[in-house]
Structure 1
Amino acid sequence: MQKLESLYPEAEIITVVLDNLNTHNASSFYETFDVREAARLADRFNFVYTPKSASWLNMIEIEFSALSRQCLNRCISSISKLSNEVIAYFKERSKKAIKIDWQFSRETARKKLNKYYTKVNSEKKKLLLHGI
């Protein structure tokens, strides 16, 4: 997070979208840094969480799981070697054109998420009626 922060020195608040893993919150700053640094970082970040019931949104989690099982499941002696291994792993996956078997269709999404569309559309309608 310190590195991410350094990439956006002008930003007052940095919004980060995360899943609901128990370590993905500002309390982790206090477990890692002294109180001043933890408080400073906590004030810089706004955490937005993906819904717990929407694991299908976390396609990157599938990639991390594959990486972990197929590449990182052993002792790697240095950061340099780790970097080389991960790059080689993704080059190989890219070369093989490995894809995720997406089974969540647009139709299924509409059925499952219709209650959210209704809510969003009614809010949008209210704003339009008020000229906003």
Structure 2
Amino acid sequence: MKKGKTQAYRIKHANILLAVDADGPNLSDEDSTQIFGCHQNTVRNVRQRFVEQGIEVALERKKRDEPPRELKIDGEKEAQLIAIACSEPPAGRAKWTLKMLAERLVELDIVDTISDQTVRRTLKKTNLSLT
């Protein structure tokens, strides 16, 4: 096999199509999944895209129907969250909780809504601990 710069998924999709070809080995979906180490849905979807839209579409990855969700916290909002987390906690509290930080971000109109888990992931990403 020649060395090249073709993406691995394109090669895998081409091999799947060759394997399930009726004029070729005509492998079942189950056999193809074991040989190529992929899910049965991958074999079915590649074959279906080939039949309905042609070889070029079948060799490519499926395009997203919707764009990815917009991030709640960008770099500026992340800096504001860190500043709040590093500040003194509210009176009567020894430390900030994730829920309190989320509520403070909403109170200060930094974000419209945010979950405590988004706050947790952001703090974890920056290696900031509330303890």
User: TM-score with structure 1 length normalisation?
Assistant: 0.19
- Taking CA–CA contacts closer than 8 Å with sequence separation of 6 or more, which of the two structures ends up with the larger relative contact order? 1
Larger Rg: 2
Q: Which has the higher helix share?
A: 1
User: TM-score with structure 2 length normalisation?
Assistant: 0.19
Q: Which has the higher strand share?
A: 1
